[in-house]
Amino acid sequence: MITSFVQRAFKQLPVSPQLHRVADGEEAVAYLEGTGRFNDRAEFPFPHVVLLDLKMSVMDGFEVLAWMRNDGDEVKVLPVVVMTSSTEPQDKVKALSLGAKSFLTKDVLFDTPAELCKTVLSFLTV
- Identify the CATH number of the domain in which residue 13 sits: 3.40.50.2300
Average pLDDT of the residues in 81-107: 88
Q: What is the pLDDT of residues 37-66, one digit of tens each?
A: 999 999 999 998 898 989 888 999 999 999
Query: Domain span at residue 74?
Result: 2-124
| Chain segment 101-113, per-residue pLDDT in tens | 988 887 665 566 6
pLDDT of residue 1: 42
Assign 3-class secondary structure to 63-75.
HHHHHHHHCCCHH
Domain count within the chain:
1
Q: Which long-range contacts (CB under 8 A, 24 or more apart) does 11-18 make?
A: 12/113, 12/117, 13/117, 13/121, 17/48, 17/120, 17/121, 17/124, 18/45
